Structure 1
Amino acid sequence: MINYSERIPNNVDLSGNRTLQRALEQWQPSFRQWWDDMGPDGSSNYDVYLRTAVSVDPKGWAHFDYVKMPDYRWGIFLAPSAGDRKIHFGEHKGEPVWQDVPGEYRSTLRRIIVTQGDTEPASVEQQRHLGLTAPSLYDLRNLFQVNVEEGRHLWAMTYLLHAHFGRDGREEGEALLERRAGDADNPRILTAFNEKTPDWLSFFMFTFITDRDGKFQLAALAESAFEPLVRTCRFMLTEEAHHMFVGESGVARIIQRTCEVMRDLKTDDPVKLRAAGVIDLPTLQKYLNFHYSVTGDLFGAEVSSNAATYYTNGLKGRFEEGKLDDDHTLHDDEYTILDVADERIVERHVPALSALNERLRDDWIRDVQAGVDRWNRIPARLGVDFRFKPPHKGFHRRIGLFAGAHLSPEGELMSEAEWTRRHLEWLPTEADRLFVHSLMSRCLEPGKFANWIAPPARGINNQPVEFEYVRFN
């Protein structure tokens, strides 16, 4: 169970380490100030029907009730220890896991934790103004649930920095609250977390696609030899699943509503559908293309000596490492990647150790495809002849072997001139974004939804869809 009587709710016996407790209590007001400055705009007095962790047991860790977001019980929650766990990959395979950071890996592990930690407040900042254009109370509540959980994930990473990295860790914890998404002078570390999230279609695509990157990065870190990081990431993954649900179901409901209007009007003409106030399917495909390509870059270069080092040293494993049938050292293994050579896309075999970024990206691609397949059941069911498709992994890339190449979503190489002429067939244009923006207006009557999105099949926590998920005071 989690002790909610303490100033910082936790299940790590914080009161038994007074120095650490004092350091985090000094950080707490800075966090609250950051939330007031950069959290959901104008929402501090709302009563929101939120899920709060009451234990880390996967069977019953969530309690639902109305909470004002500034009063949300943020804290430090680690999944249960796995007992006498052994390191199961890399050169330390078979040794006991680490409860403290080995000195030789200190700076590398700190950088990994800071980079992950930086994404958590960044997404809150990116989504700060979305509540002002919420398509329903149900969606507004889901946005706020995502926001408070990203805030808690920031607490999780800050705890690791404070508990295991001394003064350097405390300074990094402060810096996590000082950077700002999209700030010209002090931006967030990763490019995708400096992009704007200007509308709800972008938010749903972000939570479906980019939070799925978070799932795979956390899952790889949850294999680490550093046990406190493992326990932190395992608990974070239980919350990350909800964020992806919000995205996948949000886009599905947009597809549903558009297909219903297509059926009623007996048309697939984007002009007529836009006039009817829904988002045409080709525009949804463009948004998919954009968010998919930007997120693909988050995995890093296809061939990476850093990734090999992280694995060999036991800092970061592969997705579901324990289920993979090999020697878990990869010294003699190869992995197939795609490259551009002689104006062709070719397959290349490289050492598996150096291709771990690409392997994780491929795992993510399969997972995205499964979600897109679920979306495609909607037009199929409603008799609409349209299927969504993620673009080629080399499309619109800024990092890695495809960074200098120009590809269509189908993977056809083209000249820079042809790309310049055609890329707006595949990526959202300014006119597309302005149209989507024009649909964004608040719909806050319980049980009512904006015209461009269908209601969900069911409400939250067995509540009816028309439940008052947010109360305005």
Structure 2
Amino acid sequence: MSTVNYSDKIPNNVNLSEDRTLQRALEGWQPNFVNWWDDVGPDGSTGYDVYLRTAVSVDPQGWAQFGHVKMRDYRWGIFLNPGDASREIHFGDHKGEKAWQDVPGEHRANLRRIIVTQGDTEPASVEQQRHLGLTAPSMYDLRNLYQINVEEGRHLWAMVYLLHKHFGRDGREEAEALLQRTSGDVDNPRILGAFNEKTPDWLAFFMFTYFTDRDGKFQLSALAESAFDPLARTTKFMLTEEAHHMFVGESGVSRVLTRTAAVMNELKTDDAQKVRAAGAIDLGTIQRYLNFHYSVTIDLFGADQSSNAAIFYSSGLKGRYEEGKRTDDHVLKGQTYKVLEVKDGQLVEKDVPMLNALNEVLRDDFIKDSVAGVNRWNKVLEKAGIPTRLTVPHKAFNRQIGALAGIKMSPDGRVVGEAEWAAKKSEWLPTPDDFAFVASLMGRVVDPGKFAGWIAPPVMGINRQPVDFEYVRFG
């Protein structure tokens, strides 16, 4: 069992106290992190005692301890999965060699870029979700939001540790910059587009945690294969925490659908305006939110053909999702993969070298996983006797990155002209009216066991606690 040393100022299982220079550098970064949390972390939450889980080990049985804690005092720390001295690189040009404990000079710039890009997403989502606590639909949901926030903060620590430990002055400067960029800032935005979008309401939050945190799952899984062993061990542990974020999204949308279906059945109508008038979110609005968050998220995987993706794989820096379960040669030279392009106004497939298409491979794995969850949402509607089904739009819909960027595409996969796009866009993507309506529902409900009228209660509480448990104590 890999226990965490809580006697140190920074909880860790990496023997931080044995490296005084590194310890001092991270202890110097810590106050800046706390200042960032105070400035742009969860709004108005400083005095709250929140029922949070904290890592006490990275052992599967013992990595989470529950208790009320002030978020500002949360034991953020540095936790790596246990190492394996005999671990070998299992893909790319270095396949069969020993995994690296230090950064090889020739891969230094690329590894730093990968770590900084991953690190930048973590504080970004905290910033995006800053004001959501003020409109929480229940105390249960408020606690889940705060749990995600503190874990994104810890994931930032995970990347900052790697930058400080392995990248010298460059790493320290990058670690500072992670606290200087701000989501949506005109002059100094976050690196990736989806992390500069607003998360204006709880339906957006549930879609974000379902889709965009799922991108996190796939990116972290690919990095957990890395030949750079400290990165692989760090991201493996981060994946343990990421699962809860996706659960919050999937169960949140399910609960919204449960309530919507109940209202539709009570009123015996599928009329969107009547459903809205009864204080529930109509299925059309939910579908438009889904279309938006899904399309923004699949852009996060990058261009469909990428020389960087080929370099990262061949160099051993980043593998594929579940690399070890794949039955090919794990080198991929001479292999091909199908990607989409538009030719003469039609979508066509073409074969490209698989090494260059690895972003698309990861995107397709993500799509398969996302569709499975949307099918689970449809089971909620089916069970309630509602004939409507949610659908995932075509992967060329509303794309801003790669060969499909800017192509006008309907959700069902037809290339459309400017006129049809302009006419139908408000049926396909959330409108100002949708945002205004959802915003009108966002009143704060925080009495234990009480829930806003647009969402159903969960089936069970957190950590075997009752649904009406006092998850947040307001100081």
Fold agreement, TM-score > 0.5: yes
Residue aligning to 1:65: 67
| CA distance in 1 between partners of 2:411 and 2:84 (Å) | 44
| CA distance in 2 between partners of 1:102 and 1:340 (Å) | 40
Amino acid at match of 2:474: F
Residue aligning to 2:302: 300
Structure 1 residues 65-116: Cα deviation after superposition (integer angstroms, max 9, x where no partner): 0000000000000011133110001100000000000000001100110000
Among 405, 420, 423, the residue aligned to 1:418:
420
Deviation for aligned residue 1:6: 0.7
| CA distance in 2 between partners of 1:462 and 1:404 (Å) | 47
Residue aligning to 1:457: 459
Structure 1 position 197 matched with structure 2 position 191: no
| CA distance in 1 between partners of 2:232 and 2:386 (Å) | 45
Deviation for aligned residue 1:417: 2.3
Structure 1 position 313 matched with structure 2 position 310: no
Residue aligning to 1:468: 470
Structure 1 residues 392-447: Cα deviation after superposition (integer angstroms, max 9, x where no partner): 00000000111131000000001122212211110000001100000000001100
- Matches for 1:438-449 after TM superposition, within 5 Å: 438-449=440-451
Residue aligning to 1:324: 326
2:339 aligns to what SS in structure 1? Answer: strand
Residue aligning to 2:285: 283
* Aligned residue pairs, count: 473
Whether the 8 Å contact between 2:223 and 2:319 is mirrored in structure 1 is yes
Amino acid at match of 1:262: M
Residue aligning to 1:7: 9
Among 204, 228, 231, the residue aligned to 2:230:
228
Residue aligning to 1:352: 354
Among 42, 45, 59, the residue aligned to 2:44:
42
Residue aligning to 1:29: 31
| CA distance in 2 between partners of 1:331 and 1:34 (Å) | 45
- Matches for 1:176-215 after TM superposition, within 5 Å: 176-215=178-217
2:337 aligns to what SS in structure 1? Answer: strand
| CA distance in 2 between partners of 1:11 and 1:145 (Å) | 21
1:337 aligns to what SS in structure 2? Answer: strand
Residue aligning to 2:159: 157
Structure 1 residues 2-60: Cα deviation after superposition (integer angstroms, max 9, x where no partner): 01111000000000000000000000000000000011001011000000000001122
Amino acid at match of 1:82: D
| CA distance in 1 between partners of 2:217 and 2:297 (Å) | 12
TM-score normalised to structure 1 length:
0.99
| CA distance in 2 between partners of 1:319 and 1:430 (Å) | 37
| CA distance in 2 between partners of 1:21 and 1:416 (Å) | 57
| CA distance in 2 between partners of 1:465 and 1:422 (Å) | 41
Amino acid at match of 1:119: T
Amino acid at match of 1:307: A
2:300 aligns to what SS in structure 1? Answer: helix
Structure 1 residues 182-228: Cα deviation after superposition (integer angstroms, max 9, x where no partner): 00011000010000001000000000000000000000011000000
Whether the 8 Å contact between 2:138 and 2:452 is mirrored in structure 1 is yes
Structure 1 residues 445-466: Cα deviation after superposition (integer angstroms, max 9, x where no partner): 1000000000000000000000
Residue aligning to 2:103: 101
- Matches for 1:99-138 after TM superposition, within 5 Å: 99-138=101-140
1:299 aligns to what SS in structure 2? Answer: coil
Among 264, 267, 291, the residue aligned to 1:265:
267
Deviation for aligned residue 1:251: 0.4
Residue aligning to 1:364: 366
Whether the 8 Å contact between 2:398 and 2:406 is mirrored in structure 1 is no
Deviation for aligned residue 1:347: 1.0
Residue aligning to 1:139: 141
Structure 1 residues 335-359: Cα deviation after superposition (integer angstroms, max 9, x where no partner): 1111111111111111110000000
1:40 aligns to what SS in structure 2? Answer: coil
| CA distance in 1 between partners of 2:291 and 2:248 (Å) | 19
Amino acid at match of 1:458: M
Among 422, 430, 434, the residue aligned to 1:432:
434
| CA distance in 1 between partners of 2:363 and 2:429 (Å) | 21
1:448 aligns to what SS in structure 2? Answer: coil
| CA distance in 2 between partners of 1:51 and 1:320 (Å) | 27
Deviation for aligned residue 1:167: 0.2
1:303 aligns to what SS in structure 2? Answer: coil
2:67 aligns to what SS in structure 1? Answer: strand
1:348 aligns to what SS in structure 2? Answer: strand
- Matches for 1:164-183 after TM superposition, within 5 Å: 164-183=166-185
Deviation for aligned residue 1:173: 0.3
| CA distance in 2 between partners of 1:222 and 1:361 (Å) | 17
Percent of aligned pairs with the same amino acid: 70
| CA distance in 2 between partners of 1:46 and 1:83 (Å) | 43
Amino acid at match of 1:48: V
| CA distance in 1 between partners of 2:419 and 2:177 (Å) | 42
- Give the RMSD, CA atoms, in angstroms: 0.6
TM-score normalised to structure 2 length:
0.99
Residue aligning to 1:251: 253
2:37 aligns to what SS in structure 1? Answer: helix
In structure 2, runs of 5+ residues without a counterpart are none
Amino acid at match of 2:465: Q
Residue aligning to 1:333: 335
| CA distance in 2 between partners of 1:297 and 1:101 (Å) | 29
| CA distance in 2 between partners of 1:157 and 1:416 (Å) | 43
Deviation for aligned residue 1:131: 0.2
Residue aligning to 1:375: 377
